[in-house]
């Protein structure tokens, strides 16, 4: 594909004194998933609203399927489906009525609109609730109805603004499944999320945005190479053992050949380190046992958004994040702001 399905260049949007977007570039090839990863207030929703023609950018431009979102807004709207952060279905209407309404607004005949509503409701496992008002739906059902509503017009580009926020893990897996199938059918998906895990599970490429700027763009694999594939987190039963834990973690992470074994303390009494080798967990357990350290928590997980930001913003501010974590004075939980300021 030569024309990207979604292409935004230098998007700027201000609300009064607040700059929501400060020159954002985004691009998604047709038939792929672009993950937009960032914390609350980073500008993710503003970017989605511009790309779905709900907002005009103050500067920069955006094209969807080669069509400008400002000058060709009407044509863009025929190609997109939008699922907002909060489910924007009409609570007084039933599932069927919600979807039929969208169908008739998309100029389907009454019969086609009903058929389409029925097949979407069935596909989203909502057939039993089809004739109940949406206000009686659970959170997960509402999300599914909202997503179904955005698919009535068979859009080629679908925006999912934090589609799994507030869903329990099982429902999240279901939603992921849906997204994967949409892409299999040839749609392009732009997905905003606060979870690296979600971007990793779904996205072909990830743009990390913070404070209205893209601070990294890569494949999930590339991103993890930068921020450390997984992190090992340990909480000793006794805070007095933190020094021992620190030493063990440095040993495990360092010997795996990682350039900087940065032990951080995401919470009081907890130490965390990026690890790359497969046997890191086993070795940590062995060494902690050898030192006689009892732990209440020991886990191997993908970095949290905080940790991603810490690493990315530190890298941008030039050089190693010189933050040794002496157990007596744990590093701040979110050293993002100062690092970011330094990078500006």
Partner 1 sequence: MSTLTLPGTTAGTGAAAPRPFALARHSTALAHRGLLKIRRTPEALIDVTLQPVIFLTVFVYVFGGAIAGGDRHAYLQYLLPGVLAQTIAFGSAAIGANLNTDIEKGVFDRFRSLPIPRAAPLVGAVLADVVRYAVVAVVTVGFGSAIGFRFGGSAPAAVAGCLLAIAFALCLSWVSVTIGMLVRSSGAVQGITLLVMFPLSFGSSVFTDPATLPGWLQGFVRVNPLTQLVDTMRALFGGTPVGAHLGWTLLSMAVLLVVFVPLALAAYRRKA
Identify the residue among 177, 238, 239, 279 touching partner 1 (CB under 8 A): 177
How far is the C-alpha of 322 from the C-alpha of 92, rounded, in Å?
A: 56
* Part of the chain binding partner 1 (CB under 8 A), chosen from 149-157, 238-246, 289-297, 329-337: 149-157
Identify the residue among 3, 18, 88, 255 touching partner 1 (CB under 8 A): 88
* Part of the chain binding partner 1 (CB under 8 A), chosen from 177-185, 222-230, 241-249, 273-281: 177-185
- Report the residue number, 69 or 308, with the smaller CB distance to partner 1: 69
Answer whether 192's CB lies under 8 Å from 45's CB. Answer: yes
How far is the C-alpha of 239 from the C-alpha of 257, rounded, in Å?
A: 28
Name the β-bridge partners of 321.
Answer: none
| Binding of residue 176 to partner 1 (CB under 8 A) | no
- Report the residue number, 119 or 341, with the smaller CB distance to partner 1: 119
Structural element, H or E, at residue 200: helix 196-202
* Part of the chain binding partner 1 (CB under 8 A), chosen from 13-21, 36-44, 99-107, 283-291: 99-107
How far is the C-alpha of 60 from the C-alpha of 214, rounded, in Å?
A: 14
Phi, psi of 236 (to 5 degrees): -70, 150
Instruction: Give Cα 295 to chain centroid, integer Å.
Output: 31
Identify the residue among 11, 67, 108, 263 touching partner 1 (CB under 8 A): 108
Identify the residue among 42, 47, 120, 308 touching partner 1 (CB under 8 A): 120
* Part of the chain binding partner 1 (CB under 8 A), chosen from 185-193, 208-216, 254-262, 313-321: 185-193
Q: Which of 127, 52, 69, 68 is nearest to 95 (CA)?
A: 127
Answer whether 322's CB lies under 8 Å from 335's CB. Answer: no
Answer whether 280's CB lies under 8 Å from 255's CB. Answer: no
- Report the residue number, 158 or 253, with the smaller CB distance to partner 1: 158
Q: Which of 33, 14, 25 is nearest to 60 (CA)?
A: 25
Identify the residue among 22, 34, 124, 249 touching partner 1 (CB under 8 A): 124
Site for partner 1 in 60-79 (CB under 8 A): 74-75, 77-79
3-state secondary structure of 77: helix
Q: Which residues sit at the interface with partner 1, rule CB under 8 A?
A: 30-31, 49, 52-54, 74-75, 77-82, 84, 86-93, 97, 101-102, 104-108, 116, 119-120, 122-125, 133, 149-151, 153-156, 174, 177-178, 181-182, 184-188
């Amino acid at each position: 594909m030569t024309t990207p399905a979604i292409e935004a260049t230098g998007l700027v949007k201000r609300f009064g004194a607040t700059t929501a977007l400060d020159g954002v570039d985004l691009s998604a090839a047709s038939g792929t998933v672009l993950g937009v990863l960032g914390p609350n207030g980073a500008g993710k929703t503003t970017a989605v609203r511009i790309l779905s023609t709900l907002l005009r950018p103050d500067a920069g431009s955006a094209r969807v399927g080669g069509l400008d979102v400002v000058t060709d807004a009407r044509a863009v709207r025929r190609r997109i489906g939008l699922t907002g952060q909060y489910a924007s279905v009409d609570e007084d209407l039933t599932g069927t009525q919600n979807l039929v309404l969208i169908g008739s607004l998309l100029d389907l005949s009454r019969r086609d609109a009903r058929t389409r509503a029925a097949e979407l409701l069935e596909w989203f496992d909502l057939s039993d609730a089809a004739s109940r008002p949406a206000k009686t739906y659970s959170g997960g059902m509402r999300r599914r109805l909202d997503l179904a509503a955005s698919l009535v017009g068979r859009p080629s580009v679908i925006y999912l603004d934090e589609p799994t926020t507030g869903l329990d893990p099982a429902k999240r897996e279901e939603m992921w499944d849906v997204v994967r199938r949409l892409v299999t059918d040839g749609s392009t998906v732009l997905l905003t999320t606060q979870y690296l895990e979600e971007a990793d599970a779904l996205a072909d490429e990830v743009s990390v945005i913070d404070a209205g700027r893209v601070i990294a763009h890569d494949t999930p694999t590339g991103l993890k190479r930068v921020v450390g594939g997984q992190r090992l987190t340990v909480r000793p039963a006794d805070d007095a053992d933190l020094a021992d834990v620190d030493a063990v973690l440095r040993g495990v992470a360092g010997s795996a050949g990682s350039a900087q074994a940065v032990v951080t303390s995401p919470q009081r009494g907890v130490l965390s380190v990026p690890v790359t080798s497969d046997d890191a967990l086993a070795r940590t357990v062995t060494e902690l046992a050898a030192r006689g350290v009892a732990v209440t928590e020991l886990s191997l997980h993908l970095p949290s958004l905080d940790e991603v930001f810490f690493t990315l913003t530190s890298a941008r501010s030039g050089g190693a994040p010189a933050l040794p974590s002496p157990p007596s004075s744990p590093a701040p939980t979110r050293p993002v702001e100062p690092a970011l300021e330094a990078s500006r």
